[in-house]
Structure 1
């Protein structure tokens, strides 16, 4: 399963037309069906309900027009468009009710209940998928903060795929190790249950620490071909173990912060230098997501905005500075004015000599 954020526009007409009628030239039957929608919307009862489709567009456009009256200089898109797409295998596993449950979880993760939205299912490809159309101007009339929205959308999809044990495709295993996914997963009940089933997992902060705890208990892990690991007759996915470690680190950091009268912050997953797809090698630092689909609108295209770069370099380290081409920090204006006289005196002394 994948989730993908797509660009739309200020008004909803073209997107809603496509969702119900397909492309203008071929008008291919998409098998469109409204699955979920916000309480304040009236939705068409079928793809052939022209009056209902027109009314749906008008409800989105009324909010757009009102927002533009108060914010005439707005140059950003106001209609959001996201897609959830399932592989054929995932669709067979989840069935109709299971896919709708994943959709409900996604709506909650994305906070779409705060605005107008409609989720329309298409059944015209081998990959059943949902088009989620929503207004970025929320019910309190504040615009959604769409900073890094592409990344957040992908992360939500990967987190839900892990939660429901769906297929991870292409680079999704690497995305599963990013902070955004770990933060979502650490709040899921299956991760909390997994941790509480083992005294070792309750304490482990990362794979290195986990290894040490296993050694002290004289337990030897067995590595399986699909990156899973077998420990004491139980099989674990590395992505789940990372989420457990992330939860442990955050809780310990929070306890430390409370004891010191501060708000504790857990370290990012990138701080764990022993992190990886198994116990022995580190994970890749840069992740680009490129996942195929039969539907052109549902096909994610890898781009720079979807890169997760978790490489950190200390600019004070000359060797690394030279290696990564990091420029030295320039002196500020106040520093130059302060030292201008000293520099001139030094130059005049050199001339006298």
Structure 2
């Protein structure tokens, strides 16, 4: 079962919202509704998030991403559609039942820290547990552990104004972790930070995720951040999700010109992986000169790398040998190879919208077309 499901969510502000939804379903756009004093913030948004997955929603300001996030935990009720959390329809709960779910199962990390200035770092980190009614000793123990996970061991007795912006955001993250919630909602949580601190926080989140395996919905307007963090990404424009997929799908096969414009400046060498662009060994070597066994392919390769290795790490071995780099699975078994020509061809592959819009073409298929031309 998916941890989180959004089914045909709409959020319309203004008069006669049900009538506005009918118009949207009939083909009307946002501008037509706005002329009548109605704002369609989210339009027919559907997606699923699996347990332990980081699902990133990205888009420009006004695209509807933060409104969408607030519908996921009931801070905003949808005009139409529903949200399922572990199979439970959150949109059908009473206010008291929804508050109970939010206090114990769903935590939120805000953009601007939202710390209490009159509470210590430890007290801030334990605030969610205080709301749950957890006794003080247990609250302090769990908050201390969460602060240590967030890299703030030793700062428990400090005040928020004694911390840097990055450290304050770590307190916000620790507060979410202390409740041991199943779902974390992060609304532009790193966007107020300086670039270097922001990257440190991304590193911190990824490191924590390796251990905690939380289910996370992360909102951002930064595509590089989305591609670095997201197991799956949804791109929003004018209230609608215009494309969903992994970073490689969105980078290599954008569904429309809008998505393509976002991806044109992304460093593909840090996003695409060896597994995404690899070829079968017989394709790379040719039937006449193919090594007889996988072991011989690996032995002849200048390097053997896991399938999730970013292709930027393939430059050196590809430049030092005519033999292709071997690509292996988690058990070390050969799953493919990356010849030098394939690496160069995929890096030069132009990013054009897929046709028809929304059709998923895998990065590996695009790489095959690229090497065929090389």
Q: TM-score, normalised by structure 1?
A: 0.28
Which of these two proteins has the greater Rg computed from alpha carbons?
1
